[in-house]
Structure 1
Protein backbone atom coordinates (compact mmCIF):
# COMPACT_ATOMS: atom_id res chain seq x y z
CA UNK A 1 0.00 0.00 0.00
CA UNK A 2 3.02 2.26 -0.31
CA UNK A 3 3.59 2.77 3.40
CA UNK A 4 6.16 1.52 5.89
CA UNK A 5 4.92 0.22 9.24
CA UNK A 6 1.91 -1.72 10.43
CA UNK A 7 -1.48 -0.71 9.15
CA UNK A 8 -4.13 -0.75 11.86
CA UNK A 9 -7.07 -2.58 10.34
CA UNK A 10 -9.39 -2.10 13.32
CA UNK A 11 -9.36 -1.66 17.09
CA UNK A 12 -11.34 -3.68 19.59
CA UNK A 13 -14.19 -1.59 21.04
CA UNK A 14 -13.30 -0.41 24.54
CA UNK A 15 -9.67 -1.55 24.17
CA UNK A 16 -6.68 0.52 25.32
CA UNK A 17 -5.87 1.22 21.64
CA UNK A 18 -9.35 2.60 21.00
CA UNK A 19 -9.21 4.68 24.20
CA UNK A 20 -5.84 6.11 23.04
CA UNK A 21 -7.56 7.31 19.84
CA UNK A 22 -5.96 4.83 17.46
CA UNK A 23 -8.01 4.43 14.30
CA UNK A 24 -8.30 1.52 11.90
CA UNK A 25 -9.25 1.48 8.25
CA UNK A 26 -12.63 3.10 7.63
CA UNK A 27 -14.70 0.12 6.49
CA UNK A 28 -17.23 2.19 4.54
CA UNK A 29 -14.77 4.40 2.64
CA UNK A 30 -11.69 2.17 2.73
CA UNK A 31 -9.66 5.15 3.93
CA UNK A 32 -6.45 4.24 5.72
CA UNK A 33 -6.40 5.01 9.45
CA UNK A 34 -3.24 4.82 11.57
CA UNK A 35 0.04 3.19 10.64
CA UNK A 36 2.24 2.14 13.57
CA UNK A 37 5.84 3.04 12.78
CA UNK A 38 7.55 2.54 16.17
CA UNK A 39 6.99 1.23 19.70
CA UNK A 40 8.93 3.02 22.45
CA UNK A 41 11.20 4.46 19.77
CA UNK A 42 12.04 1.12 18.14
CA UNK A 43 11.01 0.82 14.49
CA UNK A 44 8.11 -1.53 13.74
CA UNK A 45 7.90 -3.08 10.31
CA UNK A 46 6.35 -6.45 11.16
CA UNK A 47 3.68 -7.60 13.57
CA UNK A 48 6.18 -9.88 15.30
CA UNK A 49 8.38 -6.88 16.14
CA UNK A 50 5.43 -5.09 17.75
CA UNK A 51 4.25 -8.10 19.73
CA UNK A 52 7.83 -8.81 20.93
CA UNK A 53 8.16 -5.21 22.13
CA UNK A 54 4.79 -5.32 23.91
CA UNK A 55 5.65 -8.63 25.59
CA UNK A 56 8.88 -7.11 26.90
CA UNK A 57 7.01 -4.13 28.32
CA UNK A 58 4.41 -6.30 30.04
CA UNK A 59 0.77 -6.12 31.00
CA UNK A 60 -0.12 -3.17 33.19
CA UNK A 61 2.55 -0.88 31.75
CA UNK A 62 2.37 1.67 28.93
CA UNK A 63 3.86 1.63 25.44
CA UNK A 64 4.35 4.76 23.35
CA UNK A 65 3.36 4.09 19.76
CA UNK A 66 4.50 6.37 16.96
CA UNK A 67 1.77 6.70 14.36
CA UNK A 68 1.22 8.20 10.95
CA UNK A 69 -2.22 9.33 9.84
CA UNK A 70 -3.20 11.46 6.85
CA UNK A 71 0.42 12.46 6.23
CA UNK A 72 0.99 13.62 9.82
CA UNK A 73 2.80 11.99 12.72
CA UNK A 74 1.81 11.66 16.36
CA UNK A 75 2.47 9.52 19.40
CA UNK A 76 -0.08 7.65 21.50
CA UNK A 77 0.50 6.18 24.94
CA UNK A 78 -1.34 2.86 25.13
CA UNK A 79 -1.84 0.75 28.25
CA UNK A 80 -0.69 -2.81 27.66
CA UNK A 81 -3.48 -5.22 28.51
CA UNK A 82 -4.76 -8.67 27.73
CA UNK A 83 -7.62 -8.22 25.26
CA UNK A 84 -8.82 -11.68 26.24
CA UNK A 85 -9.75 -10.28 29.65
CA UNK A 86 -12.38 -7.69 30.47
CA UNK A 87 -10.92 -4.19 30.33
Structure 2
Protein backbone atom coordinates (compact mmCIF):
# COMPACT_ATOMS: atom_id res chain seq x y z
CA UNK A 1 0.00 0.00 0.00
CA UNK A 2 1.39 3.45 -0.89
CA UNK A 3 2.05 5.71 2.10
CA UNK A 4 3.31 9.13 3.10
CA UNK A 5 5.33 9.90 6.21
CA UNK A 6 4.03 12.27 8.85
CA UNK A 7 6.27 13.81 11.51
CA UNK A 8 4.92 15.07 14.83
CA UNK A 9 6.73 17.73 16.84
CA UNK A 10 6.38 18.94 20.45
CA UNK A 11 2.77 18.69 21.69
CA UNK A 12 1.72 16.74 18.57
CA UNK A 13 4.33 14.09 19.38
CA UNK A 14 3.28 14.00 23.01
CA UNK A 15 -0.40 13.60 22.08
CA UNK A 16 0.15 10.81 19.53
CA UNK A 17 2.97 9.12 21.44
CA UNK A 18 4.91 9.05 18.18
CA UNK A 19 7.49 11.13 16.40
CA UNK A 20 6.65 9.75 12.97
CA UNK A 21 4.36 7.28 11.25
CA UNK A 22 3.17 6.29 7.80
CA UNK A 23 -0.39 6.88 6.59
CA UNK A 24 -2.14 5.74 3.42
CA UNK A 25 -1.64 7.86 0.30
CA UNK A 26 -2.97 9.57 -1.65
CA UNK A 27 -4.87 11.72 0.81
CA UNK A 28 -6.40 15.13 0.05
CA UNK A 29 -4.74 17.65 2.34
CA UNK A 30 -8.19 18.91 3.32
CA UNK A 31 -8.87 15.50 4.92
CA UNK A 32 -5.65 15.32 6.94
CA UNK A 33 -7.09 16.68 10.20
CA UNK A 34 -10.17 14.43 9.91
CA UNK A 35 -7.88 11.43 9.44
CA UNK A 36 -5.76 12.38 12.45
CA UNK A 37 -8.87 13.01 14.56
CA UNK A 38 -10.12 9.50 13.70
CA UNK A 39 -6.78 8.02 14.80
CA UNK A 40 -6.29 10.25 17.86
CA UNK A 41 -9.66 11.47 19.19
CA UNK A 42 -9.42 14.99 20.58
CA UNK A 43 -6.23 15.93 18.73
CA UNK A 44 -7.97 18.55 16.58
CA UNK A 45 -9.13 20.62 19.57
CA UNK A 46 -6.12 20.06 21.81
CA UNK A 47 -3.28 20.29 19.26
CA UNK A 48 -4.15 20.84 15.60
CA UNK A 49 -6.07 24.13 15.96
CA UNK A 50 -2.82 25.96 16.68
CA UNK A 51 -0.41 23.97 14.50
CA UNK A 52 1.24 24.68 11.20
CA UNK A 53 1.47 21.97 8.57
CA UNK A 54 4.22 21.51 6.04
CA UNK A 55 4.20 19.37 2.93
CA UNK A 56 7.71 18.80 1.70
CA UNK A 57 9.53 21.91 2.81
CA UNK A 58 6.66 24.39 2.48
CA UNK A 59 3.93 25.41 4.89
CA UNK A 60 0.50 24.65 3.47
CA UNK A 61 -3.07 25.72 4.23
CA UNK A 62 -4.90 22.58 5.35
CA UNK A 63 -8.28 24.26 4.89
CA UNK A 64 -7.61 24.99 1.20
CA UNK A 65 -8.99 28.49 1.58
CA UNK A 66 -7.29 29.54 -1.65
CA UNK A 67 -9.51 27.17 -3.63
CA UNK A 68 -6.69 24.81 -4.63
CA UNK A 69 -6.87 21.06 -4.16
CA UNK A 70 -3.65 19.68 -2.72
CA UNK A 71 -3.15 15.94 -2.48
CA UNK A 72 -0.56 14.26 -0.25
CA UNK A 73 1.02 11.66 -2.49
CA UNK A 74 2.97 8.46 -1.95
CA UNK A 75 6.43 9.19 -0.56
CA UNK A 76 5.55 12.74 0.53
CA UNK A 77 6.57 14.05 3.94
CA UNK A 78 4.19 16.02 6.12
CA UNK A 79 5.01 17.71 9.42
CA UNK A 80 2.67 18.86 12.19
CA UNK A 81 4.40 21.83 13.80
CA UNK A 82 3.01 23.45 16.96
CA UNK A 83 3.71 27.15 17.53
CA UNK A 84 7.27 27.98 18.46
CA UNK A 85 8.21 30.80 20.80
CA UNK A 86 11.55 32.26 21.65
CA UNK A 87 12.70 34.43 24.44
- Please give the range of the TM-score, normalised by the shorter of the 2 chains: 0.3 to 0.5
- Structure with the larger helix share: 2
Structure 1 length normalisation: TM-score?
Answer: 0.32
Structure 2 length normalisation: TM-score?
Answer: 0.32
